[in-house]
């Protein structure tokens, strides 16, 4: 019996509401021995109040020592074992720009890059062009024809775009053409099996044509492709938990990820205040809300300790507006840690708080890594947070007689 089947067997609909707030990359590290983390440094009276009333702990995103990307990090929080369900970067990016990836599609993430007259990459991000230029260049590439496959080219933002190949017998076991280095040429695509060779052939033709078209468009005069991926088979949250689920996220990847597990992706606005307004308006229409807050991660990735502290404090300020809606279960956590000391995602367990009428309070009075370590949830794999939320929402029946 797997966890999802257990949920299907035990779930009950009592009309209760669950809100999952994901502060991306929430967990951190102190800059020096004896110091505090970003979250411990931040003034968070509203999150602290949640901790006093709720139960807290540390969420292990995948397994001890394993640092997740955004995909596995979020899948875990939605209750999908991130080692069982794998989502390629191409699919995530495509879903994130509202592209409806279908069963005959292979999606791949594209980057504009700059090459010199020897064909060697001089800038892997083409000097980060404006999104307007990205759209213009993608329009050019939309004219490319490759026999036997339908090709879609869609701008994402700055240097990033998505290519989707649609056709029969297209595999996704194809190497990235991005060499992840400068002063080398983009790589040739090679397929590992017959179907993937079809994909590689098509994409190599596409790249050749793109190179001709973009020849005089320096710095956006070449493209690299990475993360060839087909749509994975994945059950929806409605199917597993019986929850009408909504995503309120600003950034494409998280919207794409939510769509993949069957959430309705709402028009979130651009600010946290607008996101919460969206939440308020949609309150009666859904049972489960995933609210994504990006800036705790991006400041961490930038190595900006003070910036991350500030972004945490801004999140804290909005917590009362969420609580005012009186959700039956409110969880605040992160998909992984992004310590500004490391300037990257990390494996460190993530501070997590769950508020509901049925929690067993644990005496913890402050939201932070050290305090959560002593919390009532202990250290728990992220994939179990949904079953805990379902239980506290009164949505799970007894197992067995």
Residues that bind a second copy (CB under 8 A): 1, 3, 6, 10, 29-30, 33-34, 37, 53, 58, 62-73, 82-84, 86-89, 92, 227, 342, 344-348, 358, 360-363, 369-370, 373-374, 376-380, 384, 387-392, 396-401
Q: With respect to a second copy, which residue has the nearer C-beta, 212 or 360?
A: 360
Q: With respect to a second copy, which residue has the nearer C-beta, 249 or 272?
A: 249
* Beta carbon of residue 34, minimum distance to a second copy (angstroms, whole number): 7
Closest Cα partner for 305 from 347, 339, 351, 350? 339
Closest Cα partner for 347 from 30, 25, 56? 25
186's CB contacts (< 8 A; 6+ apart) are 113, 115, 121, 177, 178, 179, 207, 222, 223, 224
Strands in 329-333's sheet, in edge-to-edge order, are 264-265, 245-248, 288-293, 18-23, 329-333, 350-355, 55-60, 378-381
* Beta carbon of residue 166, minimum distance to a second copy (angstroms, whole number): 21
Distance separating alpha carbons of residues 300 and 39, to the nearest angstrom: 11
Tokens at 102, concatenated: 């279908």
* Beta carbon of residue 397, minimum distance to a second copy (angstroms, whole number): 8
* Beta carbon of residue 269, minimum distance to a second copy (angstroms, whole number): 26
Q: With respect to a second copy, which residue has the nearer C-beta, 265 or 354?
A: 354
Output the furthest CA–CA distance in the chain (Å, rounded).
Answer: 74
Q: With respect to a second copy, which residue has the nearer C-beta, 310 or 381?
A: 381
The angle that helices 252-260 and 70-77 make with each other, rounded to 10 degrees, is 50
Q: With respect to a second copy, which residue has the nearer C-beta, 149 or 382?
A: 382
Q: With respect to a second copy, which residue has the nearer C-beta, 105 or 369?
A: 369
* Beta carbon of residue 217, minimum distance to a second copy (angstroms, whole number): 27
Please, is 157 exposed, middle or buried when counting C-beta atoms within 10 Å of its C-beta (0-12, 13-18, 19+)?
middle
* Beta carbon of residue 211, minimum distance to a second copy (angstroms, whole number): 25
């Amino acid at each position: 019996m797997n966890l999802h089947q257990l949920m299907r067997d035990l779930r009950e609909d009592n009309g209760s509401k669950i809100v999952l707030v994901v502060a991306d990359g929430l967990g951190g590290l102190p800059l020096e021995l004896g110091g505090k983390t970003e979250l411990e440094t931040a003034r968070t009276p509203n999150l602290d109040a949640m901790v006093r009333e709720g139960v807290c702990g540390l969420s292990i995103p995948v397994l001890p020592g394993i640092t997740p990307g955004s995909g596995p990090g979020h899948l875990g929080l939605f209750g999908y074992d991130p080692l069982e369900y794998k989502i390629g970067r191409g699919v995530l990016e495509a879903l994130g720009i509202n592209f409806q990836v279908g069963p005959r599609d292979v999606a791949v993430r594209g980057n504009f890059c700059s090459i010199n007259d020897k064909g060697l990459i001089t800038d892997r991000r083409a000097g980060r062009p404006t999104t307007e230029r990205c759209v213009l260049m993608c329009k050019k590439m939309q004219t490319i024809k490759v026999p036997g496959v339908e090709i879609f080219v869609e701008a994402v933002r700055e240097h990033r775009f998505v290519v989707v190949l649609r056709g029969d017998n297209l595999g996704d076991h194809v190497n990235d053409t991005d060499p992840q280095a400068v002063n080398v040429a983009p790589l040739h695509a090679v397929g590992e099996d017959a179907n993937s060779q079809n994909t590689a052939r098509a994409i190599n033709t596409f790249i050749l044509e793109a190179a001709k078209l973009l020849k005089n468009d320096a710095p956006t005069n070449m493209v690299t492709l990475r993360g060839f991926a087909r749509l994975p088979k994945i059950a929806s949250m409605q199917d597993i938990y019986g929850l009408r689920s909504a995503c309120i996220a600003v950034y494409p990847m998280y919207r794409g990820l939510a769509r993949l597990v069957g959430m309705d992706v709402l028009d979130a606005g651009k600010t946290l205040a607008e996101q919460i307004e969206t939440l308020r308006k949609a309150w009666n229409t859904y049972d489960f809300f995933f609210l994504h807050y990006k800036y705790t991660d991006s400041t961490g990735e930038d190595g900006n300790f003070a910036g991350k502290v500030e972004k945490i404090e801004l999140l804290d300020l909005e917590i009362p507006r969420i609580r005012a809606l009186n959700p039956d279960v409110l969880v605040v956590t992160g998909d992984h840690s992004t310590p500004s000391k490391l300037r990257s995602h990390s494996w460190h367990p993530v501070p997590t708080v769950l508020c509901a009428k049925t929690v067993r309070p644990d005496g913890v009075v402050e939201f932070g890594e050290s305090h959560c370590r002593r919390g009532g949830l202990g250290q728990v794999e992220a994939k179990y947070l949904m079953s805990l939320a379902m239980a506290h929402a009164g949505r799970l029946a007894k197992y067995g007689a």
